């Protein structure tokens, strides 16, 4: 099994609360990105105290309430499936805060973390405020929901986006990387990919590789899997008949997304 591919599991941490993905500094090669997928039954509650960590809570599916300190944000979430392809609600929470997520209905939430020292205000990121972007041409087309982009100064380190790739298309392509602290040419950002497929029995292929091939893995990725990108290029290919969704979390020393294309494949952009 690849060290960069994490399969979903079922860890019930409280009544009606199941952690199905958990990426930490202990069980992964990442230093700047941690990640959880939590499934909630109706009325179930999940709570956590953030220390020197910031968090973006994404209401993937279902309806939730989120309480941060004394403030509660009600009725968050806009979809029953991520493949409705509409933006959803999210909450940014800075370090040293306590939060609670309550399922109004059955719900799936993503918890995206990175280290943080500077206290920032809690921010509700409403679905209608999420920027929607079309990228690429031909079989390199995808749709992006910019939940927490680098143009939004609300976070210290976190960057969070959703990406949809149609049947037979490629994404994160041509292959690009962002593993060097070499601005303005390139920024150093780790990344995680949380994948879902439509229909759910589908799969995609993702390759993660570095110039020196010290990392070079090609993975068959199934519904609910997480792929870790500590460094290197990381393209995704979607087979015919299936649609791809992934939630990207990025973080690093500088909160800037500046990528570098693989020179062997950059010619594709000039077509």
The pLDDT tens digits of the residues spanning 154-179 come to 999 999 999 999 999 999 999 999 99
The two tokens of residue 201 are: 């029995």
Structure tokens at 235: 């393209």
CA distances from 149 to 69, 153, 155, 243 (A): 25, 8, 9, 23
What is the model's pTM? Answer: 0.97
Residue 97 has pLDDT above 70, yes or no: yes
Phi-psi region of 43 (alpha: psi -120 to 50; beta: other; left: phi over 0): left
Q: 93 with 49: CB under 8 angstroms?
A: no
Facing residues of 125 across strands? 90
Task: Average the pLDDT over 247-270 and give the result.
Answer: 95
pLDDT higher than threshold 70 for residue 152: yes
Burial class (CB in 10 A: 0-12, 13-18, 19+), 150: middle
What is d(CA 218, CA 5) in angstroms, rounded to the nearest whole number? 10
pLDDT in tens, 99-129: 999 999 999 999 999 999 999 999 999 999 9
CATH topology of domain 5-270: Jelly Rolls (2.60.120)
Name, in order, each residue with C-beta under 8 angstroms of 271's C-beta and a sequence gap of 6 or more: 137, 138
At 248, the pLDDT band (50, 70, 90 cuts) reads very high
Question: pLDDT (tens digit, 9 = 90+) per residue, 221-239?
Answer: 999 999 999 999 999 999 9
Say yes or no to pLDDT of 246 above 90: yes
What does the radius of gyration of the chain's CA atoms come to, in whole angstroms?
18
If we measure between CA atoms, which residue out of 164, 177, 173 comes closest to residue 243? Answer: 164
Bigger pLDDT: 58 or 137? 58
- pLDDT of 1 > 80? The answer is no
Share of the chain above pLDDT 70, in %: 100
- Here the tokens at position 39 are 């499934």
**CA nearest to 63, candidates 78, 73, 41, 48:** 78
Sorted by sequence, the CB contacts under 8 Å of residue 267 that are 6+ apart come out as: none
263 Cβ neighbours under 8 A, 6+ residues apart: none
**Sheet harboring 203-209: ordered strands across?**
170-171, 236-237, 203-209, 216-222
Domain layout of the chain by residue ranges: 5-270
- Using DSSP's 3-state secondary structure scheme, residue 128 falls into helix
Angle (CA) 181-34-192 rounded to 5° is 65
Question: Measuring CA to CA, which residue among 154, 23, 22 is closest to residue 94?
Answer: 154
């Amino acid at each position: 099994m690849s060290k960069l591919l994490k399969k979903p599991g079922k860890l019930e941490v409280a009544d009606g609360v199941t952690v199905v993905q958990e990426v930490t500094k202990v069980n992964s090669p990442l230093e700047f990105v941690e990640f959880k997928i939590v499934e909630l039954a109706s009325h179930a509650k999940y709570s956590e105290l953030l220390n020197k960590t910031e968090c973006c809570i994404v209401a993937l599916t279902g309806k939730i309430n989120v309480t941060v300190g004394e403030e509660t944000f009600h009725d968050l979430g806009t979809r029953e499936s991520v493949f409705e392809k509409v933006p959803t609600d999210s909450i940014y929470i800075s370090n040293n805060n306590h939060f609670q997520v309550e399922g109004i209905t059955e719900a799936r939430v993503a918890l995206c973390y990175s280290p943080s020292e500077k206290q920032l205000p809690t921010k509700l990121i409403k679905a209608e405020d999420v920027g929607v972007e079309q990228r690429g041409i031909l079989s390199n087309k995808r749709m992006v929901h910019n939940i927490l982009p680098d143009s939004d100064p609300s976070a210290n380190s976190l960057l969070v986006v959703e990406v949809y790739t149609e049947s037979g298309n490629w994404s994160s392509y041509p292959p690009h990387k962002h593993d060097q602290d070499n601005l303005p040419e390139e920024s150093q950002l780790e990344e995680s990919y949380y994948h879902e497929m439509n229909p759910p029995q589908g799969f995609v292929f993702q390759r993660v590789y570095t110039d020196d091939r010290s990392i070079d893995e090609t993975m068959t990725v199934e519904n609910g899997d997480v792929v870790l990108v500590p460094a290197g290029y990381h393209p995704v290919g979607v087979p015919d008949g299936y649609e791809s969704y992934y939630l990207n979390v990025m973080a690093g020393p500088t909160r800037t997304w500046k990528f570098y294309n693989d020179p062997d494949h950059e010619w594709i952009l000039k077509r």
